[in-house]
Amino acid sequence: MKASIAALAALVFASVAPAAPKPAGVAGTVTRVTDGDTLWFMPVGKQPVAVRLRDIDAPEICQEWGAQAQRALSDLALNKPAMLQAYGHDSFGRTVGVVFVDDINLGQQMVEDGNAWSLRTRNDHGPLVKQERMAKALARGFHTQAGKMMPWDFRKAHGPCAAAAGASAAGR
């Protein structure tokens, strides 16, 4: 009996895949926060790079809650030591990556606090949908606001912030 239990345990442990290792990170400091999903990261001994946080989309800076999202990311990261895991570049040339400050994934924290949405794909609500639903259920951040607009819908309706601000000023 003991032999069969040991064999079963060995089979179970052998079938469990080991956790995937995290990509190697680069140490540095967050030197500037542009908006709720973009920051500047200064790797140790190198030039700063613009980083678009992976897996999230925060309100545009000219959009309702945009300033609050920028302030929330600043509070989490500005002038703090950080670790960047880069995954590539976006169409604007920014590094797309996950940034950790004190072992906190900044993108995930922004979604959990209701300051960003999980980035959607065509058939999916994104990798942080669970955190987004929890923030909504707990009425955190912009989830307390009626009539909030997702950033991709805002950009589609109003264009980039500079254009939206110009159109707004022209309409006065």
CATH of domain 26-157: 2.40.50.90
User: pLDDT tier at 116 (50, 70, 90 boundaries)?
Assistant: very high
Considering the chain, what percentage of its residues have pLDDT values greater than 70?
Answer: 80
Identify the burial level of 122 via C-beta atoms within 10 angstroms of its C-beta, where 0-12 means exposed, 13-18 middle and 19 or more buried: exposed
Q: How confident is the model over 33-54, as a mean pLDDT?
A: 97
Looking at residue 22, what is its pLDDT? 52
CB 60 within 8 A of CB 36: no
Looking at residue 24, what is its pLDDT? 65
Looking at residue 162, what is its pLDDT? 75
Question: Which stretch of DSSP H or E encloses residue 96?
Answer: strand 95-101
d(CA 154, CA 63): 8
Q: Which amino acid is at 86?
A: A
| 122 or 95, which is more confident | 95
Q: Kindly tell me if the per-residue pLDDT of 108 is higher than 60.
A: yes
Strand partners, 95: 51, 89
Strand partners, 60: none
Whether this prediction's pTM lies above 0.75 is answered by yes
